[in-house]
Amino acid sequence: MSKRLIIFSAWCAFLIIVAGVAAWFAWSPFSDDERPATAAYRGPTHK
Amino acid sequence: MTLARAVTCPSCGGSIEVRAAGYTVTLACRYCGSVLDVAHEDVRLITAYKRANANFAIELSTRGTLFDVEWEAIGALRRRSPGAIWQEYLLFNPYAGYRWLVVADGEWQFGTMLLDRPDGAGASIEWRGETYTLDDDATVETTTVLGEFYWRVSRGDRVQCATFARGSDFLSREATADEVTWTQLVPLDRREVEDAFAVRQRYKPRAGLSANRHGFFQAPGTGDNDLPMMFLMALGALLVIAIIQYVMSGPRLCANNRFDVAVGAATTTHKIGTIDVTRPWQFVTIQADSNDFSNRWVDLDYSLVNRRTQQSIDAYGIVEFYTGTDSDGRWTEGSHHGETQFAGVPRGSYDVYVDTGSHGWPVDPPANATAPNNPWSVPEAISVWFNACTSGYSWGLFWIFAILLLGAPCLILWWRHRG
């Protein structure tokens, strides 16, 4: 097992732990708890 | 004695010195990277391409003494095989001819073209009474060309290259459709080369890197073919993360209800129902689905009110759908469905409220308006069905983990195959 693979394994383990902690606290940076700044205008935006 | 002559690059007009005039047939312009045919009096442009950032370990024109002969580096190649990347330098001395310097992973070899061919074929050959065994056999591609050469060379050239080893000495056989060439490669002390040719600092071996004769041709980062294992580990970790997110999102308890929202009227408050968050922390997801409408939007302001503490957690959602016609034809935008997610909701029992307000685009219709010629008509309203549930997980967070996990192996893959 190369040194690079060992480092990458540690990185994977770290991310799994972070994901576990985030899942336990039901944390997400994408929750909808703030009204977006663009909410003042409504209407089609593709044109 | 001098064999040098100057030519003008037809691509950029730069003046280039041909150091081995009469022998050199291909020359890469040092200013613009164009590959020139200098075998003809009127120097011809073979290919013109933007010179890649060569980043070679030795600058061309550098002179250095090896084996008591002063050599000048006149050409440089970057080459690769499926498992390795390395650099080769063409050295020239007017009296001694051409030699090669090959470098991979901070280890250097000195190459001399053989005039007498080895005997035998297959996995074992004999040369000058010594037996060499097959070490590697792969297709080698030239990815970067810089300087001048005594044969026609260009980026993308491919040869079949077999190396035969005897201890730390190698014989290399390169075969094309037209010819087969043999080269003897002997190891050089890297400090000797570094002193002789002023090797750039970043190409010197990293501290703690030990010489590995077997892996001599292997470039940094390609020494072990661990890339498939890295991808496998990344996908495995991603699967574990998905399972963790799924398992820790439950249990799923829901409340649902339906309300009519009058278009253009004032905001009204409705209670969807009561839900219980049974884990210490949970996501709460509210789905909103409406009946068919066009050019309207429904603002949805949700509140989870803790029944014990009366503390409120707020979130925002919207359902909007627009249609129209322009020069490109008919278009639609938006959806009759909306999803809102609360993150980090602590354990407790919650009343779920929603403030609804609907509006028209480009202008609001008059509130409580009825059809003027139909006294029995009712004001326009949009029906919205709500389904509020504990559980759910963040797909955005999942894709961030996917990028963080797959980024490293993808970066290594790109680095290996970059031009």
Q: pLDDT digit string (tens) for B311-325? A: 999 999 999 999 988
Across the A:B interface, residue pairs with CB atoms under 8 Å apart total: 123
The sheet with strand B381-390 has its strands ordered as B254-262, B381-390, B268-290, B337-360, B296-306, B312-326, B329-335
pLDDT greater at residue B210 or residue B19: B19
Looking at chain B, the whole-number percentage of residues with pLDDT higher than 70 is: 84
Query: Quick one: B25 and B76 in the same domain?
Result: yes
How close A31 gets to chain B, by Cα (Å)? 5
My answer on whether B213 and B261 are in the same domain is no
Query: For B354-406, what is each residue's pLDDT tens digit?
Result: 999 998 888 877 766 666 676 666 678 899 999 999 988 889 999 999 999 99
pLDDT bin (cut points 50, 70, 90) of residue B195 is confident
Tens of pLDDT, residues B130-162:
999 998 888 999 888 888 888 888 888 889 999
> Among the ranges B59-68, B85-94, B231-240, B358-367, which has the highest mean pLDDT value?
B231-240
- B245 in a structural domain: no
- Span B201-219, average pLDDT: 49
Same domain, B173 and B260: no
Do B295 and B182 belong to one domain? no
Name the minimum distance, in Å, from the CA of A19 to any CA of chain B: 6
Chain B residues in contact with A24 by the CB 8 A cut-off are 248, 280-281
Number of domains in chain B: 2
Q: Do B280 and B191 belong to one domain?
A: no
Residue B22 falls within a domain, yes or no?
yes
Give the closest of B326, B340, B362 to A43, CB-based.
Answer: B362
The domain in which residue B189 lies consists of: 5-218
Which of A21, A27, A30, A32 is the best mutation test for B, with the most CBs of B within 10 A?
A32
- CATH number of the domain within which B364 lies: 2.60.120
Quick check: is B47 in a domain? yes
Claim to verify: residue B169 and residue B270 sit in the same structural domain: no
pLDDT given at position A17: 96
Kindly report which listed range (B106-120, B270-284, B318-332, B366-380) carries the lowest average pLDDT score.
B366-380
pLDDT score at B44: 57
Mutate: best of A4, A34, A42, A45, partner B, most B CBs <10 A: A42
- Is the Cβ–Cβ distance between B297 and B268 less than 8 Å? no
Judge if B188 and B43 occupy the same domain.
yes
- Whether residue B73 is found in the same domain as residue B142: yes
Give the distance from residue A42's alpha carbon to the nearest chain B alpha carbon, in angstroms: 8
- Considering only CA atoms, give the Rg of chain B: 36
Chain A residue nearest residue B406, CA to CA:
A12
Q: Do B394 and A39 touch (CB under 8 A)?
A: no
Residue B234 lies in a domain: no
Q: What is the model's pLDDT at position B221? A: 43
Residue B137 is predicted with a pLDDT of 87
Residue B90 resides in a domain: yes
The answer to whether position B236 is within a domain reads no
How far away is chain A from the Cα of B82, in angstroms, using its nearest Cα? Answer: 19
| Average pLDDT over all residues of chain A | 84
- A33 by DSSP, 3-state: which? coil
- In the predicted model, is pLDDT for residue B224 greater than 70? no
ipTM comes to 0.90
Residue B275 falls inside a structural domain: yes
Residues B77 and B132 in one domain: yes
Instruction: Tell me, yes or no, whether B165 and B287 share the same domain.
Output: no
Evaluate whether residue B228 is within a structural domain. no
Tell me, yes or no, whether B173 and B282 share the same domain: no
- Judge if B298 and B370 occupy the same domain: yes
